[in-house]
Amino acid sequence: MIPVTSRFSQHIAVFGLGGSGRATAHALIAGGAKVTGWDDNADSRSQAANENVPIADLATADWSDFSALVLSPGIPLTHPTPHPVVTCAVDADCSVIGDIELLTENIKAAVLIGITGTNGKSTTSALLHHVLQTSGVAVQIGGNFGPPALGLNPPTANETVVLELSSYQLDLTHAATFDIAVLLNVTPDHLDRHGGMADYVAAKKRIFRTDPGTGRQIAVIGIDDEYGQDAMRELAGDNSWQVIPVSIENPVVEGISVIDGELHDADGNTCKIGHIRALRGRHNWQNAATAWAVARTRGLTPAQIAKAFKTYPGLPHRLEAFDEIDGIRYINDSKATNGEAAARAISSFANVYWIAGGVAKEDGLVPTVPYLKHVRHAFLIGESADAFATMLEGEVPVTISGDLATAVKDAQRSVAKDEDRYPDAPVVLLSPACAAFDQYENFMQRGDHFRDLVAALQTEGEP
């Protein structure tokens, strides 16, 4: 735990008592603050109370006594409407912040790396952590991936802290700065929570806040979309920043690029990554190029980074090739919760039996259209099934399976029917392009269920 001494003697409200909220409450108390916590969920309140977090209903509290509200990033800040507790804080002229703000107030000697983007945040964060750790660099990882930020160990001088940062977390920062700030990509997502694309992009760009009290900061920016290009142009003329562009579309003279699976950097180094299974797909080329750029700024050699890439195990639910039955490969990409992520998955294979559907995002299936030639059949589940069927009409054969268990069996039968029609090995790909909340608690539970269903297929096939 990292004690929050910056708020010593202040009375801080903590709303949202999940893992990060409870970690925040404990860190504040350890730093000498007075804490009052609340959660709309009774079980969460009970768990926090059992951990000696003081509990009181913040909706009826006297807000004149509070110095700040620390809000869980999952709770609406501005859109669709602010949570009533947020309104109480704003009306009392009380700042609304998140745990990332408190973290940056209380660790000054560490090297802070913030990583954001619509897609690829977790993989890039985990890959960078793996590269640094296996190369002997003192490093911790947390934030939106891994332990809550304030649940990390107090970092030693010059230790590296890798933070995956969502747009929700960045929206709750006001002064937080990062020694190395990474923007992977930006495509439409979470627009209901930000009120539109402009505010979503603005939240992402908070990662590039300048700290005049430090040396030159480093920005690593994916420039294959217009928002990354805009961010690069904005920072290019600011002497506070060293900008390293990353592209998987075009060679970049002063940055990092990956062309046909081979990485090139500005120093003339190369690394073949196209054949590394855990980095399959063009989107993972961007993740690897970004990790390479950051690792080089931390003093690692090309040989160290290339060696670490080869031992990276990958993450569950992200193009996870977890089984093969009768020549059919099963790929769990449950983390693909928007159309752009699903498009990247589909483009990685040639003979796809695609399971998609759930709670659709703003981009729907539009980003997948250029890659539908890879899809032999689509099996649709969840509340978006009918709408997706209409979108795919005339493009690929469609079956409305309804639920994941039915979709897995429908896909198996379809592959058997198409046997020997296509030269490439068939892939049953769960890449939903949707959130999971209509049928599951989260994308992890959906991916775990997919694995279990495939394991059952194997058992059913045994004599």
- Asked if the model's pLDDT at residue 462 lies above 70, the reply is no
- Give me the pLDDT at residue 419, please: 77
Averaged over 109-113, what is the pLDDT? 95
Q: What percent of the chain has pLDDT over 90?
A: 88
Tokens of 381: 């589940």
**SS3 state of residue 395:** coil
pLDDT tens profile 192-233: 888 899 999 999 999 999 998 777 899 999 999 999 999 999
The CATH topology of domain 5-97 is Rossmann fold (3.40.50)
- Give me the pLDDT at residue 463, please: 37
- Give me the pLDDT at residue 1, please: 95
State the span(s) of the chain assigned CATH 3.90.190.20.
Answer: 320-457
pTM value?
Answer: 0.90
| Strand arrangement of the beta sheet that strand 320-325 belongs to | 320-325, 328-332, 427-430, 352-357, 375-381, 398-402
Tokens of 315: 């993450």
| Average pLDDT for the chain | 95
Q: How confident is the model at residue 188 (pLDDT cuts 50, 70, 90)?
A: confident
Averaged over 367-394, what is the pLDDT? 97
CB 399 within 8 A of CB 385: no
State the span(s) of the chain assigned CATH 3.40.1190.10.
Answer: 100-311
Strands 139-143 and 160-164 turn out to be: parallel
- Give me the pLDDT at residue 297, please: 96
Cβ-based neighbours of 268, under 8 Å, separated by 6 or more: none
CATH number of 100-311: 3.40.1190.10
Q: What whole-number distance in Å separates Cα of residue 34 and Cα of residue 8? A: 8
Cα 78 to Cα 64, 72, 118, 194, 199: the distances in Å are 22, 13, 20, 7, 10
- Give me the pLDDT at residue 461, please: 57
pLDDT tens profile 274-327: 889 889 888 899 999 999 999 999 999 999 999 999 999 999 999 998 999 989
pLDDT tens profile 223-278: 999 999 999 999 998 999 999 999 999 999 899 999 999 999 999 999 999 889 88
Which CATH superfamily, name and number, covers 320-457?
Answer: Mur ligase, C-terminal domain (3.90.190.20)
State the span(s) of the chain assigned CATH 3.40.50.720.
Answer: 5-97
